[in-house]
A and B are shown apart, each in its own frame.
Chain A
Amino acid sequence: MTGRRRAALLGVLSSLVLSTASTSHAHETDAGNPPRQVRVYSDPSKLRSKRYGALELRLSPYFPAVDREFSNATPYRDAFGKGPSWTFGLEGDWQLLHIPHVGSLGPGLAWHFGWKNGTAPFTDPSTPGESAHPQRMWIMPMYAVAVFRLDVLRQDLRIPLVPYAKFGLAVNVWEARDGHELSTVDDIKGKGLEYGWTGHLGVMLHLNPLSPQSATDMDVSVGVNDAYLFVEWWYSDVSSFGKGMQVGSNTLSMGVAVEF
C-alpha cells in the first residue's frame, strides 16, 4: 500500500469515527449527559476482525506416481500418456495459534478430485487400426496437515507475500475403469484406498493492497480479512507405505485463498 493511499484511508476512517463521535457528543450534551470519550485508532488494521482460519480453492496438475513402483515398466504412462490428471479441490485451515511477529499455525483438511481418460492399446501390437476402448482412472487425494504461515513479511515488513508450509497425512482413494465398468483382474478389483504422507511448500500473494477499500468492505460485510493467490510445490508419497499403489504426486498446485 502506498503512503498516499494509507493516508487517505486513515483520513476517511478517522473522519467517519470523528463525525459519529461528534454527533453523539452533541446529542448527549443536549440531553444534559456528560460527553463520551471517543477513541480514534491510528492503525486501521485494528479495526479489522480477528482471523480464525483460511479456505483454499485449489487446482493441480496431478501426476500419480504409479510408475514409481516399477523399475522397468510404465503401465500408467502407457495407458494415460505423460499428461497430468487435473484435480480440483478444497482446503480448510484452522489458524489455531497466532504467534505475534511470526505467523499462524494450525491443522488443515483438504479434499481433491481428478481423473484421467485414456485408450487401452491392443494386446497384439500388430493389430491394424486403432483401439477405441476407453479407460479411466480417478483419484481423490485427501489430507490432514499442520499448516504454518509466515505472516511476518506481510504484517511487519509490508511485503505482500506469505510463505507457508504444510505437512501431514494423506489418504488417496482411486479407481480404474475399463470401458464403463470397474477394472478387474483375476477377481482383484481395480480400486483402492492408499495412505501416506504429504508435504507442501508455497507462497501466497496478498491481494488486499490492490484494493484496500474493497478488502475492508469484505471484512466488515462477510468477515473475510485477506485474499490471496497462491502457488505451491506439493509432494506426496501415498502407497500405504509400499503395500499398495503409489498414487502420490510431485507437482505444483495453485489457487485462491481467503482468510476469515
Chain B
Amino acid sequence: MLTLLHAGTVKLTACCAPLATLAHLGRRCGVRSNDHAATLPSEWSGNHENARRFARWHTLCSNAHVVTIPRAFLFLVARVPAWLTLGLALAVTSPAFGQAISLKSQSYRVERANERSSSEEPYAINRQDCLDDDPTKPDYDYKDAPNGRTWIRFTIYVDGNIKNNSRLEIWVSQGADCTDQDERKPGGRCTQVYKNPKADTIQLSDVAHVYPRIAVGDTNIEDMDLTDVDAYPGTEVCDEPIDQAYTFYIMLFEGDTVASNVKWTDTRVDLLGPDPPTEISAKVGESSAYVSWEIPSEQEDPDTQGFALYCAPASADGGMGGAGGAGACGSVLVAGELPPGGKQYECGTVTGRGTREGTARNLENGTTYAVAVAARDLVKNSGVLSEADCVTPEEVTTFFESYKQSGGRGGGGYCAQSPRPVGPAGLLLLLILGTTAWVRRRQRGAVAGEHS
C-alpha cells in the first residue's frame, strides 16, 4: 500500500476525480485530514442532496487503506494540463512558430479560347493548347481576350506566417519526386514552370500562371527571360510525341527548404493524335466536297473520337500531283505529317469512331483543293494527315433553285400560305362534321324510339 504522509485537509473538489480513477483501478483510497477523519466541505452541509453526495464520497474514500496525497502534488495535477494547453496555443500563434506555414489547397484550370467540355478532358493539355501558348498574345481572359494565349491557372491558398525568405515555386515532372532537391538540379527530371513574379511577395491567395510550352519543354523558367519572345520555346515543342501524365508540385520554400508542398496529378499532356484513315475519296459539291474514307479494322485506334478534314488550295502550277508543294495537288498537306498551321486548313469535322464520311465546307468554286483527313482523339488532337485527294468544287443547281427559276410559287416558310380563317376548305370540313353529327343524332333518336 502506498502511503504518502502529509498533513492538511484537501478540498474535495480537487481530489475526487483522480481518486475515483484510483478506486476504479481496484485501490481503496481516500483523502483524510491529519486526524484520519473525513472532512465534509462546509458548502456541502445543510441539505439532503449534499448529504447524499457526501455519503457517496465517503463510500468511495473512507476505508482502511488510506492514501494521503500531498497538497503540492494535487496542485500540480490540477494545473499542469492547463499550462500545457496554454503554452501550445501561444506557440502556434506566435511569430516564433514559423515552420507552420503551409499550402492549404489549390485549384487548377486551363484558360483557353477553344473551350473543351467536361467529356473532352478539359484538364488535359493537347497540341492546340501548346500551339495557342503564343507569347506574343496576352494571357487569355474570357472577358476581353477571346483569342488570348492559353495558360494554366493555379489558385493557391497559403496558411500561416509568410516569412521574408518564403517563395513559391511550381515544378513539373513525368514521374520524378520534385520535392527531392536532386531532381530539381540540372540533370534532374523536374522542370520549374513557375516562380514568384516578385521575390518575397506571396499572397495568402495567389494565382500562378503556368504556360504549356514551358511545361512541355525542359527549360527551367528560372533560366528564361520571359520578356524575350524569341527565346521562348517554339511551336516545335508541341510536335513532341508526348502522351503522359504530368505531376505539378506547388512548393513553398523557406530558404532552400521545402516548407510545404501540394501535388496536382490530374493533368495529362497529350500531343499525339490517332492514326489516319485510308482510301480518301473527295467528290464535287458546290462550295464543298463530300469526302469518304476507310479504316482497316486492324488499324482502328480506340483513342479515335472523330475526324477532321483539311483542305488546302493547290498551288498555281500544282494540279493533280503537281510540284507546287510537297503534298498532293501541290498543296501544303503532306501525308504522314501533322496538319500545318493549326486550324488554318481545317474545313470540317465529324464525330464518332465509326464515321466514314464528312463534308468539307467553305471552299471556293473553281479552285482545286487537296483534301486530307486526320483522326481526332478525346482531347481533340488531330493525328497525322492521310493521303489527300484533289477536288474542284463547282456550282450546282439544286431543286429549290430550279423550282424558283421555273416560276414556282411555293416556299418562304410554314406560314407563307396561311389560309383565310374559313375558306372553301374550312366550309368543306364544317359540312362533313355537321352532316356526321346530324346523322348520328337521328340514329340515336331512332334507337331510343325502339326501346321506348
Point out residues on A near B: beta carbons under 8 Å: 66, 69-70, 73, 75-76, 78-80, 96-97, 99, 105-107, 118, 120-124, 127, 129-135, 137, 144, 146, 168-169, 173-174, 176, 178-180, 183-186, 188-197, 239-247
Which of A130, A176, A240 touches B400 (beta carbons < 8 Å)?
Answer: A176
The yes or no answer to B107 lying at the interface (CB within 8 A) is no
Question: Given A79-B402, A107-B436, A178-B398, A243–B409 Cβ distance below 8 Å?
Answer: yes
Q: Which of A69, A168, A192, A246 contacts B411 (CB 8 A)?
A: A192
Which chain B residues lie closer than 8 Å to A178 at the CB level?
398, 400
Interface segment among B122-130, B169-177, B301-309, B413-421: the answer is B413-421
**Which residue of B has the minimal Cβ distance to A187?**
B412
Which residue from A70, A80, A169 sits with its C-beta under 8 Å from B406? A70
* Contact A168 B397, beta carbon cutoff 8 Å: no
Which residue in chain A gives the minimum CB-CB distance to B428? A169
Beyond A79-B398, A133-B284, A193-B417, whether A188 also contacts B440 by CB under 8 A is no
Residues of B with C-beta under 8 A to A118: 399
A70 to B400, CA, bound (A): 14
Query: B364 to chain A: which residues have CB within 8 Å?
Result: none
Cβ–Cβ contact B419 & A192, under 8 A: no
Q: Are A135 and B399 in contact (CB-based, < 8 A)?
A: yes
Q: Is the CB of A134 within 8 A of B290?
A: yes
B96 — which chain A residues lie within 8 A by C-beta? none
Q: Mark B413-452, 1 if CB is under 8 A from A, else 0.
A: 1111111000111001100110010011001000000000
- Cβ–Cβ contact B400 & A183, under 8 A: yes
Total cross-chain contacts (CB, 8 A): 166
Residues of B within 8 A of A (CB): 283-286, 288, 290, 359, 394-419, 423-425, 428-429, 432-433, 436, 439-440, 443
Nearest CB of chain B from residue A38's CB, rounded to whole Å: 25
CB within 8 Å for A180 and B359 given contacts A75-B408, A122-B396: yes
**A243 contacts B417, CB within 8 Å?**
yes
Counting chain A CB atoms within 10 Å of each CB, the highest count among B406, B433, B439 belongs to: B406
A192 and B410 contacting across the interface, CB-CB below 8 Å: yes
Q: Smallest CB–CB gap between B418 and chain A, Å?
A: 8
Which chain B residue lies CB-closest to A134?
Answer: B290
Known A69-B408, A127-B394, A244-B416; judge A133-B402 contact (CB<8 A): no
Q: Which residues of B contact A173 (CB under 8 A)?
A: 414
Of chain B, the residue at the smallest CB distance from A174 is B410
The listed residue with most A CB atoms (<10 A of its CB), out of B395, B403, B414, is B403
- Check A131 against B285 for contact (C-beta < 8 Å): yes
Cβ contact within 8 Å between B414 and A240: no
Inter-chain contacts of A79 with B (CB < 8 A): 398-399, 402
Q: How far is the CA of A247 from the CA of B432 in the complex (A)?
A: 24
B396 and A120 form a contact (CB under 8 A): yes
Question: CB distance A244 to B410 under 8 Å?
Answer: yes
Q: Which residues of A contact B398 (CB under 8 A)?
A: 79, 120, 133, 135, 176, 178, 183
**Smallest beta-carbon distance B210→chain A, Å:** 41
Q: Once the chains bind, are A132 and B284 in contact (CB under 8 Å)?
A: yes
A124–B290 Cα gap in the complex (Å)?
19
Given A176-B398, A197-B425, 13 other A-B contacts at CB below 8 A?
A66-B403, A69-B409, A73-B402, A78-B399, A107-B432, A121-B397, A135-B399, A144-B429, A169-B428, A174-B410, A179-B285, A191-B411, A244-B417
Specify which chain A residues have a CB less than 8 angstroms from the CB of B439 in the assembled complex: 97, 105
- Bound Cα distance A180, B407 (Å): 24
Min Cβ gap B121→A in Å is: 29
Most buried by A among B394, B401, B409, B424: B401
B451–chain A nearest beta-carbon distance, Å: 16
Chain A, residue nearest B410 (CB): A245
**Residues of A close to B407: CB separation below 8 A:** 69-70, 73
- B residues less than 8 Å from A193 (CB atoms): 414-418
Alpha-carbon distance between A245 and B409 when the two chains are bound, in angstroms: 6
In Å, the complex CA distance between A123 and B397 comes to 5
Complex-state Cα separation, A229 to B428, whole angstroms:
30
Q: Which of A137, A169, A186 contacts B399 (CB 8 A)?
A: A137
Nearest CB on A from B315, distance (A): 21
Interface pair B417/A132, CB less than 8 Å apart: no
Q: Chain B residues near A188: list those with CB within 8 A.
A: 404, 411-412
A240 in contact with B396 (CB, 8 Å)? no
Q: State whether A168 touches B432 (Cβ < 8 A).
A: yes
Docked pose: A239 CA to B419 CA in angstroms = 11
In the bound complex, residues from chain B placing their C-beta under 8 Å from that of A97 are 436, 439-440, 443
Whether B403 and A245, one on each chain, are in contact in the complex, defined by CB atoms closer than 8 angstroms, is yes
CB distance from B419 to the nearest CB of A (A): 6
With A96-B436, A130-B284, A191-B414 in contact, is A241–B424 under 8 Å at CB? yes
Q: Which residues of B contact A240 (CB under 8 A)?
A: 417, 419
B399 touches A195 (CB 8 A): no
Assembly CA distance A146 to B411 (angstroms): 29
Within the complex, the shortest CB–CB distance from A134 to chain B, in Å, comes to: 7
Bound-state Cα–Cα, A236 to B373, Å: 47
User: Do the beta carbons of A78 and B290 come within 8 Å of each other?
Assistant: no
| B-chain residues with CB within 8 Å of residue A191 when the two chains form the complex | 411, 413-414
Alpha-carbon distance A80/B398, docked complex (angstroms):
10
Most chain B CB atoms below 10 A, which of A99, A168, A193, A239: A193
Asked if B284 and A129 sit within 8 Å, CB to CB, the answer is yes
Complex contact B429–A168 (CB within 8 A): yes
| Chain B residues whose C-beta falls within 8 Å of the C-beta of A127 in the assembled complex | 394
**24 CB-based A-B contacts, threshold 8 Å:** A69-B409, A70-B406, A75-B402, A75-B403, A76-B403, A79-B399, A97-B443, A99-B443, A107-B432, A120-B286, A121-B397, A131-B396, A132-B290, A133-B286, A133-B396, A134-B285, A144-B429, A179-B286, A179-B359, A183-B398, A188-B412, A193-B415, A243-B417, A244-B417
Q: Say which residue of B285, B405, B410 sits within 8 Å of A194 (CB atoms).
A: B410
Once the chains are docked, how many angstroms separate the CA of A214 from the CA of B319? 71
- Residues of chain A lying within 8 A (CB to CB) of residue B285: 131-134, 179
The interface centre, meaning the residue of B399, B407, B428 with most chain A CB atoms within 10 A of its CB, is: B399
Q: How far is the CB of A175 from chain B (nearest CB, A)?
A: 9
Q: Which residues of B contact A107 (CB under 8 A)?
A: 432-433, 436
Q: How far is the CA of A185 from the CA of B403 in the complex (A)?
A: 10
Contact of A146 among B406, B408, B436 (CB under 8 A): B436
Q: Is the CB of B415 within 8 A of A245?
A: no
CA distance A139 to B401 in the complex (A): 18
Cα A131 to Cα B413 in complex, Å, equals 28
